[in-house]
Amino acid sequence: MSNKQVTVGTSNTLNVSLESEAQIMNEVVVVAYGKVKKSSYTGSVSSVKAEQIEDRALTNVLSGLDGATSGVQIQSSAGQPGSAPAVRIRGFSSINGSNTPLYIVDGVPFTGDISSINTTDVESMSVLKDAASTSLYGSKAANGVIIITTKIGKSKKDKFTLNVSQGLSTRSIPEYSRVSAQQYYPLTWEAVRNAQPMGNPTEIAAANLFATNNVKKLLVVNPFNVADNNIVGVDGQLNPNASLLYPNDLDWEKALSRAGVRRSVDFSYQGRSETSNYFVSLSNLNEEGNIINSDYERTTARINVTSKFKEWFKTGLNLSGALTESKQAVNGVTSSSSFVNPFRSIRYMGPIYPIFDHNADGSYMLDDAGNKVYSTLRGEGASTGRNIVYETLNNKDVDRSISLSARTFAEFKISKDLKFTTNYAIDKRSVNTSTYTNKVIGDAIGLGGASKEDNVYTGVTFNQIFDYSKSFGSHNLTALLGHESFDYETTYLDGTKRGQVVNNNDELINFTTVTNLTSYTRGYATESYFSRLGYDYDGKYLLSASYRRDGSSKFAKDNRWGDFWSFGGAWNISKENFLVNSSWVNDLRIRGSFGEVGNDSHIDYDALSYYVNQPTYSLGFDNGSAGGILADGIGAPNLKWEKNTQADLAVEFALFKNRFSGSVEYYNRKTDGLIFNVPNPLSLGLDDRVENIGSMYNHGIEISLNGALVKTADFSWDLNVNASTIQNKITSLPQKEIINGSKKYSVGSSVFDYWLRDWYGVDSADGYALYTLDPNLSKPGATDERVVNGVNVTTNQNKALYHYAGSALPDLFGSFTNTFKYKGLELSLMFTYQLGGKTYDTNYAALMHTGNQYGSALSTDILNRWQKPGDVTDVPRLDINRNTQSSAASDRWLIDSDYLSFRQANLAYNLPKNLVDKLGIDNMRFFVNGENLILFTKKKGMDPTQNFNGTTTNRFSPSRVVSLGLNLNF
């Protein structure tokens, strides 16, 4: 299917096209439903080639976009093997809806799992960013398009390729710094003591004794070799004779962590004859996560054949399949607060708690079978009653999936200038999720629980396209006319039971009580008509226009159709007479575009009213109950697409015999018809309905620079730099303001602006936390109000002044890559960076409690706390009664998001040609690759790339992967 780029998937725009000739990509660019000469393209597109990712240990192909192009932000993927990073192109088009791009694979929308695509099967990835590039995808292209092109046979002779690599996976971001076991007890003692009356020496002495006698009762466990009432003296110091009884049993992270092994083997065969091109591949990837019980295995296969049977007829078939099995680290990927999240438990487990129970002498306590007994007794802030090591080892959460993808096309050359192409594609994915919760420790204690969930996703695309091109002297005209239908179906089945009968059997038949059983089938369809016109004069002056009309089943009958369009233009200045013979300007052009696309990916039949079964309607006193139906949602018949209008202006250049090249681009995206929940009248009995009310815009500048800094016969040094800015502003809302956690949406503000209490600091007189006082809440004579340094402040967080306290958006983000080549050696170093922006670090805030979370870990920053009058610090006093006041959500927890990431390094060596020839092979390449090597941030443990909204969670930390590999061509 040569180089063809096709339509929309659902939420991402990703185009994957096939190429029949290697040189084609040097001459043309893939656009929606076709290809054009690169010099004749009016849109904004960035590309990543196969050679940029072929040596990298990328489990998910989208990770190859990180730092590769301007205007694209990547949210770091979780450390769970197989997890996908989130991608954003030129900001955010929706508040309540999806912001992910559309995926197009080999010319048609891709509705499968991106993780099922083998990286070594990919020929290129292209990112379409402006309206001229994306508008022909219509209602699904509001968030940009990513084009992935898989490989096809290019070699004139049969060619075999073998890629083998093996590496280790470890945690890439270190844990937050936390206090030791020896520090923890005295700190808790202090928090307990400070909550007691201490107005005179007698009360102080009583408070000290109270803390000494009760600190162990609160923390439950005494890990030292001294008596419970003698761990901390009345002076607040740890007993000098105290030593840990079982120091080797206190490291929960060590017990759960490992150096995971990553192995991959890829084999492919390709070639071409006079009439056909063919590519066949088989691959296996096996990756262990850096946490026990987090494993991923994927086996993929692909057959891609294109045949030209007649001068007027060409056809092709691209079949691919993937089998995957993913063992989850017990909800650790998606859950940030669950007790069965090992990453939460590792972070917040107090340093005094052992994994196993111990006898008074420190020896392990054993059960009747001689096995160590897992400990569950801890302070109330340390997941008492649970044991994350036992639960991670004995619970199960396994996803098994089968993905099948088929694409076929037929191309008829009707005349020299006109051809007709039809494409048919089907993506089918079946995912089976099996979970088991043990009956010894945890949520299903005494019972055991199991669930089975089946999801089947099927997407079918069928299109027909007429493509016309004609030249009249210096005038060149292209035209495209097409139709496309898209159908998508989801089926869901879920069953959960409790009451395990026989051990070591997690099938539902082995459980007694059904606690949940449900299923549903949902469908979605679109019908589309589209066209495009292109004109250029002598390659100097370029014009383009496109139009698409989409009908969607998600909307009410009167609003199902939407119109989407674009205009684009370019001026190739370097082809003008005054520059055509320039000795230093090789290419110079200005291009621009304007158009509108839509977004319906997040709408779930909200235009319709719903009724659900209600099995227990009461019929009145003494009459029992009967079944019936209940109104579950009121429809919004006026609901329409969120519409995204985008303007783009760019300058592209190449100088000094193409030694230096780049582009500078400005964009402005405006979204109208933002979908919000609007309150219903109380008489309806339903809270709200959805409507298109609201608008916002994003705008920014993108800069890409490429330089061949050194170029000799044996040595070269290339530098690639990109930088992007983004700004976001709300221009209309359905109400004056909407509070959403740490954000407040209002006209004139950004979706990413923080709305938080104004933290003032700590009163040096008594160590109380202080907030700037909201004058509207001030009361004369109130004891919780003070004046400090002439500023009205309060110790009551409920009277604090709220203000906009910065943004989660960066001021600047991008990457720089150095590539060095010396004879057969190649070294590539990529760094990504961000300047500006704030992260609301909820993880750090939880580690800065004031001692009332008995057993929960404390940050080492707590050592800088206020302890006596006159202490100047920004850490309040420890006091079990004042955690709510001291730890309230405020701008105290905002941390600068600046970072520098050593994203990847690759060192490769190609055997000399004379040696390769002696071995009878085409090429042999050895490489060492490192991913996620080092992250430099303002605060140890914090990952500012974790969420676009700037808030941290306790999710699976990203993995550092270092691998060795071999690439063999013969």
The residue assigned the tokens 């004069």 is: 537
pLDDT of 967 reads 95
H or E element that contains 191: helix 181-194
Per-residue three-class SS string for 339-397: CCCHHHHHHHECCCCCCECECCCCCECECCCCCECECCCCCCCCCCCCCHHHHHHHCEE
Give me the pLDDT at residue 956, please: 86
Pairing of strands 145-150, 15-16: parallel
Other CB atoms within a 10 A radius of the CB of residue 881 amount to: 14
Do β-strands 688-692 and 276-288 pair in parallel, antiparallel, or remain unpaired? unpaired
Closest CA to 170 of 934, 926, 939, 898: 934
**Residue 32 DSSP label:** B
* CA 841, chain centre distance (Å): 18
What number of other Cβ atoms are within 10 A of residue 371's Cβ? 10
What is the per-residue pLDDT for 355? Answer: 98
State whether residue 888 is helix, strand or coil: coil
Rounded to the nearest 5 degrees, what angle is found at the Cα of 699, between the Cα atoms of 695 and 700? 165
Helical H segments across 788-921, by residue range: 842-846, 883-886, 913-919
Contact 268, 161 (CB under 8 A): yes
Residues comprising the chain, all counted: 970
Q: Locate 41 and state its tokens.
A: 């393209």
- Centroid of chain to Cα 955: 11
Measured N-to-C along each axis, helices 201-219 and 181-194 cross at an angle, to the nearest 10 degrees, of 130
pLDDT at 503: 93
628 CB-near residues (< 8 Å, 6+ apart): 613, 614, 617
| Residue owning tokens 């590999």 | 965
Q: Which residues of the chain have pLDDT under 50?
A: 1-27, 332-337, 610, 617-618
**The predicted structure's pLDDT at residue 641:** 85
Cα maximum dimension of the chain: 104
Cβ proximity of 385 and 254 under 8 Å: no
